[in-house]
Amino acid sequence: MTRLVCFDVDSTLLRVESLDFALSEKLGPAARERLEAITAAGMGGTMSLRASIAARLDLARLTRLDVARIAVALQQYLTPGMAELVAELKARGDKVAAVSGGFHDLLRLALRDLGFAEAMCRTNRFTWDGEAVSGFDPANPLSDNGGKAVVLRALSHAGEVRETVMVGDGITDLEAFEAGAAQRFIGFGGVVTRSSVAERAPEFADTVSDLRAALLA
């Protein structure tokens, strides 16, 4: 039986929050501050993830052109060392998955570059009104708190998995472990450290080197 290692994407595999990256250039300074506050509240657990996503999308209207352009730009924001770590895990026989509250159309190219098979990527999906983003699919479990646990269980049940490990920086990553969907959780602070996660995580990696040591020991 194999081990399943699931990675969060924003501020873990990537050095940015992908939706914020996409929105920020369309916003003025005051709105950018609001965007940062909303994201911090959602990632820290003081606002629900669904409310955080909806509030952020309400700040600016993304177009298909915006989304396609940002998807290319995000290829330059891979967290250094993560692609190599993913390759090492796959070489030793682990299954690797990317599980994110971010959006498929923004993340697909970066996740491909990191070495994730599309079948092992789970993300949110935009809804569209012609050429503009109108919102997101609320039926997707990743659009709200607790959704990562649902997705991890489905991934674990899809194959013979002896252990599921969740890696990430945010409260939704920790929640998946606390709900019993992963047997192990490693908090990651290599991009940003969220105190609400660091204080509760049974294991915590401050760098990719620390994460590599924890996963390959």
- Mark out the alpha helices in 18-170 (DSSP H runs): 18-24, 29-44, 49-59, 64-73, 82-91, 104-114, 147-157
What phi-psi label fits residue 88: left (phi over 0), alpha (psi between -120 and 50 degrees) or beta? Answer: alpha
Catalytic option among 8, 20, 66, 169? 8
Catalytic option among 10, 20, 169, 173? 10
For 37, the token pair is 């506050």
For 51-63, b/e burial (b = at least 16 CB within 10 A) is: ebbebbbebbebe
Q: Are 41 and 198 contacting, i.e. CB atoms less than 8 angstroms apart?
A: no
Q: Phi and psi at residue 68, in whole multiples of 5°? A: -65, -40
The amino acid that residue 11 corresponds to is S
10 is known as an active-site residue: yes
58 is known as an active-site residue: no
Q: Give the length of the chain.
A: 217
Which residue numbers are catalytic?
8, 10
